[in-house]
Amino acid sequence: MIYSKTCQYAIRALNYLATLETKKPATVGEVHAKTGVPQAYVAKIFQCLTRAKIVASKSGPNGGYALRVDPAKLTLLRVVDALDDVSESPLSNCVMGQAECSDRNPCCLHTVWVKAAAEMKKKLAKVTILEAGKATARAYRSETGRTVLSRRMQKVFGYGTAKGDRE
Amino acid sequence: MIYSKTCQYAIRALNYLATLETKKPATVGEVHAKTGVPQAYVAKIFQCLTRAKIVASKSGPNGGYALRVDPAKLTLLRVVDALDDVSESPLSNCVMGQAECSDRNPCCLHTVWVKAAAEMKKKLAKVTILEAGKATARAYRSETGRTVLSRRMQKVFGYGTAKGDRE
DNA sequence: CTAATTCAGGATATCATTATCCAGAATTAA
DNA sequence: TTAATTCTGGATAATGATATCCTGAATTAG
């Protein structure tokens, strides 16, 4: 779901990968430290994004995850679709949860909603990770070694005191 | 949440109430039988709608629930708001789940999303239960005593074999 | 080759949503 | 007044989303 934490986390994680100029991949631990997304959950999400060929994984020392596609071409729609069980997504299904919902057999919101979903998809297909990332880029300070979110950005993101934080 | 089953159920239940011309209220059991919404869940939803003054409840024989407002004036927005914990709703909050998300401190999707949410709200504020109900009205056959959904509509709604069905 | 690093993915825990159940209060019919 | 009907609201169960943990496989450095 677009509105799920899983999607939020994925976008944050990908935004971070997009800020990396070097080809060196980022480890799960690093992404967690920089984005505040729960470490083990980052791992799960990246497994999914790997299958969707959005990121490439590499085992071993100096391994990790890196974007596999140009962030300027990676749309939110593709990201959302990768994480969504499409058969469940409200973007591709009846809002009223009807088994059948078509122009012939419309649910009570069919006409309204079909349009709304199409508009939303269009929007998601327009915004790229590169664009989205720009707005967040300033949240990261990449100078020192064990960088973390700035105090101010911790407040913005609403974490920094999360359980499971390793540093 | 707009996309929650709870909301779907509420809209279906209210659609049914809107089809009743008489002033006699409908019982939870009746609404369940006519809409297919799980009986005990209908009860919970109506308790909520009662508190929101959208329906009126009446105990005892010949009691039940009836619309308290004109279905031509009851908007989906009001229904959704009644069921939503507004502080959690994606319509009123940051899609990225940030603690703070404003024009000054935008999340990476802020500009895109603020607009999308506003449009969605506008839509929800435009559609009334009366209008929504019209599309579904034909799903009900109100001739005989223990009316149920037609076979065809059972298929459309994707239920009719649900556990807990009493008839 | 060995040890260290890192991902892969199954098992499990936690939590919110969805769904059910039941005892008690209110109301009504007779 | 009594019994039947119906809502009220708390307790509980089932399910799905979120989050954690751990073992094993892949990779690399030395």
pLDDT above 70 for A89: yes
How sure is the predictor about A57, in pLDDT bands with cuts at 50, 70 and 90? Answer: very high
pLDDT class for A87, splitting at 50, 70, 90?
low
More confident residue, A55 or A136: A55
What is the predicted pLDDT for the residue at B21? 72
- Closest among A114, A90, A81 to B7, alpha carbons compared: A90
* Position A77 in a domain: yes
Is B1 in contact with A5 (Cβ distance < 8 A)?
no
Within 8 A by CB and 6+ apart from A35, the residues are A9, A12, A13, A15, A16, A42
CA distance A90 to chain B (A): 7
CA B138 → C1' D23, Å? Answer: 58
Structure tokens at A63: 């391994």
Residues with CB under 7 A from strand D: A 1, 4-6, 9, 38-41, 43-44, 58-63, 85, 88, 162-164; B 25-29, 43-44, 46-47, 50-51, 57-65
Q: Give CA–CA dist B160/B81, Å, rounded.
A: 29
In the chain, the amino acid numbered A31 is: V
* Six token digits for residue B72: 């031509």
- Residue at the smallest CA–C1' distance to nucleotide D27: A60
Does residue A38 sit within a domain?
yes
Work out the average pLDDT over A78-89. Answer: 84
* Average pLDDT value over all residues in chain B: 80
User: Which domain covers residue A37, as residue numbers?
Assistant: 5-137+148-157
Under the banding of pLDDT at 50, 70 and 90, the label for residue A162 is very low
Average of pLDDT values for B20-44?
A: 93
Q: Is the minimum CB–CB distance between A90 and chain B shorter than 8 Å?
A: yes
- Domain membership flag for residue A66: yes
Task: Provide the CA B41 to C1' D28 distance, Å, integer.
Answer: 57
Residue of least CA–C1' distance to C7? A59
pLDDT of residue B64: 96
Report the distance separating Cα B10 and Cα A111, nearest Å: 19
Q: Is B106–A135 a contact, with Cβ atoms under 8 angstroms apart?
A: yes
Strand partners, B58: B64
* Structural contact between residues B28 and B64, judged by C-beta atoms closer than 8 angstroms: yes
CB proximity B86 to A under 8 Å:
no
Q: Please report whether residue B164 resides in a domain.
A: no
Whether A167 is covered by a domain: the verdict is: no
The CATH number of residue B21's host domain is 1.10.10.10
Report if residue B162 sits inside a domain: no
User: What is the distance between the alpha carbons of residues B35 and A101, in angstroms, rounded to a whole number?
Assistant: 16
> Does A133 touch chain B if contact means CB atoms closer than 8 Å?
yes
Residue A143: inside a domain, yes or no? Answer: no
Among A25-29, B28-32, B81-85, the range scoring the smallest mean pLDDT is: B81-85
Put simply, the answer to whether B95 touches A132 (Cβ < 8 Å) is no
Identify the top-confidence range among A90-99, A120-129, B109-118.
Answer: A120-129
Q: Could you tell me which residue, A155 or B87, shows the higher pLDDT?
A: B87
Out of B15, B112, B116, name the one closest to residue A108 (CB): B15
Contact B50, B57 (CB under 8 A): yes
Lowest mean pLDDT among A144-148, B25-29, B111-115: A144-148
- Considering CB atoms only, which of B100, B101, B112 is closest to A127? B112
% pLDDT > 70, chain B: 79
B145 CB within 8 Å of a chain A CB: no
| B87 is a domain residue | yes
Query: Does nucleic acid strand C have an atom less than 7 angstroms from the CB of A57?
Result: yes
B10-14, B84-88, B92-96, B114-118: which range is least confident on average? B84-88
d(CA B69, CA B59): 19
pLDDT for residue A85 is more than 60: yes
**Nearest chain A CA: its distance from B63 CA (Å):** 27
pTM to 2 decimal places: 0.83
Total of domains in chain A:
1
What was the pLDDT predicted at B105?
79
Task: Tell me the mean pLDDT in the region B1-27.
Answer: 91
Cβ distance of A158 and B120 shorter than 8 Å:
no
Tens digits of residue pLDDT in A15-49 = 999 999 777 899 999 999 999 999 999 999 999 99
